[in-house]
Amino acid sequence: MKIRVLGSGAGGGFPQWNCSCPNCKAVRAGTINASPRNQSSIAISSDGEHWVLFNASPDVRTQLENFPEIHPKNKVRGTGIEAIVMIDSQIDHATGLLILREGDPLTVYCTEMVKQDLTTGFPIFNILEHFCGVNHHDIPLNGDAFTIPNIDDLEFTALALKSKAPPYSPHRNDPHEGDNIGMIIRQISTGKTTFYAPGLGVIEPHVEKAMLDADCVMVDGTFWTDDELASVGRPLLARSIGHIPQSGKEGMIDILNAMKKPRKILIHINNTNPILDNDSKERKILTENNIEVSYDNMEINL
């Protein structure tokens, strides 16, 4: 199984265009040991030629330009992207679908709730019907695995996560199963699995089991502390907007430390998070706990 991190940042990327927090200011000035980050997305393949894109961020054009394996091969136009899997319908995960409108119909796998959001409150699917069109496939939430044509040797199993729909969603304040999912990706020939969940607000029993059984977990690394956004004048707690902070009691460090089997990688890292500084004490704590921080263009082979 081949995994490519196309973007490792949270919404807005790093540096965020309108932010002058210590991290953003320092990375612009080159006074911090940190690298800019696009908004989160990964691609997965079993053969290195045919790929599944997880989410389509607003930075997707740059991400794909930096990814030669996905470029056209021996023809004028084409792509190694066989399908796009939507984890949720957040703007920073869905807007990139509009950037991909120049080609053939997009093959998109998502839950019914995500489809509803992307045809109502944020009607990207409707807009794309005037360009390339969308071939939609429903993601089952009953524990059944599914496969994707031309993606040999991989199967996918979605897990419903406790979460809210995006702010624009008609059912923002009425959560439904399928608003947000995690995904188990299993290579059939080897049995190796990856669990991917860039947004995690609660570790429910079925999620914990998936993480314990995985060979690699790529999970929510958005915030270091629960009240981190206060530093940029936003009185929102990480847990209240669906993210488990790394530090503190029952934080992501505690959760991951209880898991001995998987390789542990954080993704979807907010611009305010001190772990973006490779020399920070917070990064040292992660390293001491065998927790990695993903970065753009990172490659993982299982």
Domain 2-301 CATH (choose: 3.40.30.10, 3.40.50.20, 2.40.50.140, 3.60.15.10): 3.60.15.10
pTM value is 0.96
Q: How many of the other CB atoms lie within 10 Å of CB of 29? A: 8
* Residue 74 pLDDT greater than 80, yes or no: no
Give pLDDT, residue 230: 86
Q: Which residue has the tokens 């629960």?
A: 226
> CB within 8 A of 12, min separation 6: which ones?
19, 39, 92, 271
pLDDT of residue 25: 97
Q: What confidence tens digit (pLDDT) does each residue in 10-51 have? A: 999 999 999 999 999 999 999 999 999 999 999 999 999 999
pLDDT tens by residue, 193-224: 999 999 999 999 999 999 999 999 999 999 99
Asked if 63 and 71 touch (Cβ cutoff 8 Å), the reply is: no
Q: What is d(CA 183, CA 160) in angstroms, rounded to the nearest whole number?
A: 9
State the average pLDDT over residues 68-89.
91
Q: Look at residues 208, 151, 149 and name the one whose alpha carbon lies nearest to residue 184.
A: 208
Instruction: Summarize pLDDT for 92-125 with one digit per residue, the tens.
Output: 999 999 999 998 999 999 999 999 999 999 999 9
The edge-to-edge listing of strands for the beta sheet with 106-110 is: 134-138, 106-110, 81-85, 51-54, 41-45, 2-7, 299-301
- DSSP E strand boundaries for the chain: 2-7, 41-45, 51-54, 81-85, 106-110, 134-138, 154-160, 181-187, 193-197, 216-220, 263-267, 291-293, 299-301
pLDDT of residue 234: 86
Contact between 40 and 93 under an 8 Å Cβ cutoff? The reply is yes
With contact defined as beta carbons under 8 Å apart, do 67 and 43 qualify?
Answer: yes
* Domain segments of the chain as ranges: 2-301
Each residue of 142-198: pLDDT tens digit? 999 999 999 999 999 999 999 888 999 999 889 999 999 999 999 999 999 999 999
pLDDT level of residue 77 (50, 70, 90 thresholds): confident
Percent of the chain surpassing pLDDT 90 = 90
- Position 73 scores a pLDDT of 82
Residues facing 195 on adjacent strands: 184, 217
Q: What is the dihedral of CA 240, 91, 187, 158, to 10 degrees?
A: 50
